[in-house]
Amino acid sequence: MKPASHLTHGEIQEYMHQVFGTGYSVAEVARTYGGAQKVIYKIDCKNGFACVLYVWDLSRNYFQEEVLNDPAFQRSYGSHLFAMNNRYLRQHGVQTPALYDLNNKKDRHPFDFALVEYIEGQKAEAYFHHEDPKVQDELFHRIGSMLSNMHAIERDYYGNADFDGSNDRPCSEAQRKHAEMSLSYAFEHMQDVRESYSTLLDKLYELEADIEPGSRYSFIHGELGPDHILIDSKMQPYLIDIEGAGFFDPEHEHSFLELRFGEFYRYLRNNNLDPKRMMFYRYCHHLSLTAGGLKLLHRHFPDQQFAKSLAEYHARCAIQIATGRNR
């Protein structure tokens, strides 16, 4: 077999023996693609066991510059956040793949890596076109119940699960600052955004000024699309890519869910949310995804068409909100 690019076959075998015992001999290691912030390999053993190797290698992160310079990205990258949120979610009955072992010693390599439970199944997005509506109905009700339980975990200050303190600024301010940076990046690379820049920026300030700061914050995933929920063979949902989870305005999560789940958002809807705050966060998501798509495009993300389409679609959405007309 070909060695994984981060750890050699011998290193992976040694690691598996340390964690699981000598009965776990590695048969195959295969890179899986799709993630933008960590590298993932599936490990198959000769005894039929399988698990996943996560690698947090900043040099292979498509948003390396932002992680180093943008506090908003620093809060969603790193093995320490993964381990903390994995423990926190599982303690509160929210399913996410088990963390078997985390190596953050950096004694042999300049990156952290971990062995994580492998969930055999598909991502939730695969069920958007499932042929049996009863299966769809059951599954998305389960997802809705899981998210309701997670969002019911509340406290009166925002931040990471281990943050113990108070906040002197509203959480929407951090989101607005991130949106400003996203808009500036898009201004440099998209003609439509450049032409509408002042209108787009004014709309951001207008939407922010229209909301009142929250006083209770929910535990949210932070970037929860249907590609971040795995469905196992028993139709049970598991959250993945959990590094950015923490306490924040629930409208941040729900405005993203509404974007990503489309008609299936009806299973996830919360009718007690502030519509003005929902609109503010939705607009911020459009700006962030415009810049995010451009950065993936410029940084040679494997699926270039996806990156291009992502940027173009969300730029159109943001311009439509800001100008009140289709482009």
Per residue in 129-169, pLDDT (tens digit) is 999 999 999 999 999 999 999 999 999 999 999 988 778 88
Residues 6+ apart with CB under 8 A from 216: 154, 155, 156
Residue 298 pLDDT level (bands cut at 50, 70, 90): very high
Nearest alpha-carbon partner for 201 in 124, 128, 125, 287: 287
Mean pLDDT of 1-11: 74
Q: Report pLDDT digits (tens) over 303-317.
A: 899 999 999 999 999
Mean pLDDT value across the chain:
93
The answer, yes or no, to whether residue 35 has pLDDT greater than 90, is no
CATH number of 9-118: 3.30.200.20
Distance CA(151)–CA(289), nearest Å, equals 23
pTM of the model: 0.93
Q: Give SS3 for 317.
A: helix
Residue 1 binned pLDDT confidence (cut-offs 50, 70, 90): very low
Place 77 in a pLDDT band, splitting at 50, 70 and 90.
confident
pLDDT score recorded for residue 2? 43
Residue type, 286: H
Q: Residue 197: what pLDDT?
A: 97
Residue-wise pLDDT for 166-185, tens only, equals: 788 899 998 999 999 999 99
Report the C-alpha gap between 143 and 183 in whole angstroms: 33
Provide the pLDDT for residue 61: 80
Q: Does residue 73 register a pLDDT over 80?
A: no
Max intra-chain CA distance, the chain: 64
| pLDDT beyond 80 at 226 | yes
pLDDT reported for residue 254: 98
C-alpha span between 57 and 79 (Å, rounded):
10
Q: In degrees to the nearest 10, what's the CA dihedral of 128, 134, 137, 140?
A: -60
Q: Is the pLDDT of residue 34 over 60?
A: yes
Per-residue pLDDT for 191 more than 50? Answer: yes
CATH C-level class of 122-323: alpha beta
Rounded CA gap, 77 and 58, in Å? 9
Q: What is the mean pLDDT of residues 21-48?
A: 92
Going from N- to C-terminal start, the domains of the chain cover 9-118, 122-323
Lowest mean pLDDT among 69-78, 177-186, 221-230: 69-78
- Tens digits of per-residue pLDDT, 198-220? 999 999 999 999 998 878 999 99
What is the pLDDT confidence band of residue 105, given thresholds at 50, 70 and 90?
very high
Helices (H), 130-212: 133-151, 171-189, 191-195, 197-209
Q: What is the mean pLDDT of residues 249-268?
A: 97
The continuous run of DSSP H or E covering 39 comes out as strand 39-45
Q: What is the pLDDT of residue 74?
A: 61
Does the pLDDT of residue 3 top 50, yes or no?
A: no
